[in-house]
Structure 1
């Protein structure tokens, strides 16, 4: 069996078969096909019955003193690709616009290296479905996937960054990505004729008042050093211009760099909703759904030596990055297991989630090298 994989070919094939959360059937089958071409003497492949598109692969260490986990996400986005590439998505309306095809390819490269060079410690590779939606990491934990011999002592994972040069490793101690919470607010009053507002209870006005007060949460209730975001992107109310709306529905997102901050914003918005209900004599129902999208908080005991290694590695370009308000369900994993998430620069000409996202594929081999060298160094330390 060949020790090398054609990682560019693998990435381009994965790019052509993007699938949405919990429907990554083609992707999972192709991943297994590639893994089965590797030497198998130290590999064990495991499936999670309740998550059929998830894939877990364990590499048996020669003298294991720990189990090191490495996670990659495998799902795509509902985006219609506009890159014009010859290997563009063949699944209409779906695209790896967040770089998960790069994530998977790097993971396969690292796995292949250790399938050919037995590691000292046990390694656990988790090919995770449903990162973009449905919090696949949380689902895997709740399914008991990481128990017994499949429980990692620490977890690592990366995310591509088109704003960094290809192959650059970026990281920081503490929070790397924000946590996110979906917020839905329903207002229920009484509809009526536009000419007789005193006989109705206008929920457009109530909703507008809520929106304006909600904007003061971040500006006046959040420490400006810590930061937070409250964005309402969707509002539905009414049916015609001359009828007062008796109902309104508001949908948005909350983001914060710590779980305590997210919970603080949640509480303030609930308090505002209670006040609106009283002042407008209506019903206001607030629905908050965080799921598995907790802040990605890197563990200092593991992140400090990770950063030190990357800074000193002669063939790695490292930068310390600022926290980002993007969300990632690896945050849930890091609240279950100590670990570190980091950026891999891909020098893209379009941002993440863009229909024109085109990463520089030279980042793949650089990422594989940086991660394999780090893991080998990590396994020499107590």
Structure 2
């Protein structure tokens, strides 16, 4: 999360140098209506059929050629201007989360157990707003690919679009992503080179003992204390094996054992997540976890099993594209509202795109939650929270950033 001192800084709403595009401000109410329509009708990963239909409908309305089906439900719009072969991609994610929304305002989710609790509704609306402006003004020389991606929330939709030919069918020299960030002042940005989000990896561990009556433990092999030892030992990997200056995380989040108070179970299952900013640290953690599980189980006469699944790589920004992003942000909101991006242990599948094409992934301040309408939930306005809602006031700012970024990257020679 950003440093808490940022909350004391001025917002873009009071910045006299703000450079939000007036034409986009002129249809801000429409952008908000799009966002709220998407918010009210959330769709989970690879189920974004209605959302993709809406995106395609708007792109067609503005006579933007579009392509569907990449990553199953992904949409790519193509806006060309001039004769330059240069091209960039702008990416927004479309999927929602399996969360039951606690908000009760008019645009709350109509589907129980599904919610736009991460702001992908706002991301999609901002890219649509930028698409409209780019298609009507075309103040650039080259091609802008508008990438509406499915399944960011654990489904690897970015990787799926790539495997379906995203960068082969739509070759580009750079690709850019953006995510709203609660706690960062509304109207500000944050971007930095290097790792900004961690890799996402999950693990499962089995401790296989021998069940027996709880009153006769000597007749069995109890996996419970062995699992407890493993849980504690895993934490020594980061404190005693890894370089203390390199960030990593091992969290056991699930423990499944037993069904009755008078029975010693014959198996215990553990599961959790590992996060790192480098493949080298992840390799070390994986090797040590496997050793700890195997040898701890053997020391107690049992067998253990360990499996690590690598889902998303770290999100690593490229210096050249970050410099361009900062230049564009500063021109819109002023240098004082462009912060250094604090790396987070959260994960993002835009990482797959950055492994293939240079680019940058930035944060757009969503504020502290004061923007929420009456009848919002009692919880905080944080990502993946049932009381979250996107800040509609920043929609024109995010759209303006996309437009100015495209115009800067594709400026006529």
Alignment of 1:347 onto 2:371? no
Query: How many Å separate the matches in 2 of 1:178 and 1:204?
Result: 31
Q: CA deviation at 1:334?
A: 1.0
Alignment of 1:300 onto 2:319? yes
Equivalence for 1:364: 395
Contact 1:348 1:358 in 2 (8 A): no
Q: CA deviation at 1:180?
A: 1.3
Name the TM-score, length of structure 1 as normaliser: 0.93
Q: CA deviation at 1:237?
A: 0.6
CA RMSD in angstroms, aligned pairs only: 1.9
Query: How many Å separate the matches in 2 of 1:70 and 1:262?
Result: 30
Q: CA deviation at 1:132?
A: 0.4
Name the TM-score, length of structure 2 as normaliser: 0.86
Q: CA deviation at 1:133?
A: 2.0
Q: CA deviation at 1:313?
A: 4.2
Q: CA deviation at 1:136?
A: 0.7
**Unaligned runs of at least 5 residues, structure 2:** 1-22, 370-380
Contact 1:24 1:53 in 2 (8 A): yes
Q: How does 1:1-382 map to 2 (within 5 A)?
A: 5=27, 6-38=30-62, 40=63, 43-48=64-69, 51-118=71-138, 119-148=140-169, 150-291=170-311, 293-313=312-332, 317-349=337-369, 350-380=381-411
Q: How many residues align?
A: 375
Q: CA deviation at 1:175?
A: 1.1
Contact 1:183 1:287 in 2 (8 A): yes
The CA deviation string for residues 171-201 of structure 1, in whole angstroms up to 9 with x for no partner, is: 1111111111011112212111223323211
The CA deviation string for residues 7-46 of structure 1, in whole angstroms up to 9 with x for no partner, is: 01111101101011111111111111122221x2xx3211
Query: How many Å separate the matches in 1 of 2:333 and 2:273?
Result: 41
Contact 1:48 1:54 in 2 (8 A): yes
Q: 1:344 is paired with a residue of what secondary structure?
A: strand
Q: CA deviation at 1:271?
A: 1.8
Write out the 4+ residue segments of structure 1 that deviate beyond 4 Å after TM superposition: 2-5, 312-316
Query: How many Å separate the matches in 2 of 1:124 and 1:114?
Result: 11
Query: How many Å separate the matches in 2 of 1:210 and 1:335?
Result: 34
Query: How many Å separate the matches in 1 of 2:150 and 2:357?
Result: 19
Give 1 or 2: higher helix fraction: 2
Contact 1:89 1:95 in 2 (8 A): yes
The CA deviation string for residues 197-244 of structure 1, in whole angstroms up to 9 with x for no partner, is: 232111112211110100111222222222111111110011112211
Q: 1:33 is paired with a residue of what secondary structure?
A: helix
Q: 1:89 is paired with a residue of what secondary structure?
A: coil
- Structure with higher RCO (Cα < 8 A, 6+ apart): 2
Contact 1:48 1:145 in 2 (8 A): no
Contact 2:184 2:366 in 1 (8 A): yes
Contact 2:60 2:66 in 1 (8 A): no
Query: How many Å separate the matches in 2 of 1:357 and 1:218?
Result: 33
Moved more, 357-366 or 218-227: 218-227
Q: 1:30 to 1:314 in 2, by over 3 A?
A: closer
Query: How many Å separate the matches in 2 of 1:222 and 1:109?
Result: 45
Contact 1:160 1:344 in 2 (8 A): yes
Q: 1:380 to 1:185 in 2, by over 3 A?
A: same
Query: How many Å separate the matches in 2 of 1:314 and 1:233?
Result: 41
The CA deviation string for residues 291-346 of structure 1, in whole angstroms up to 9 with x for no partner, is: 2x111100112212322442354567311121111111111221121111000111
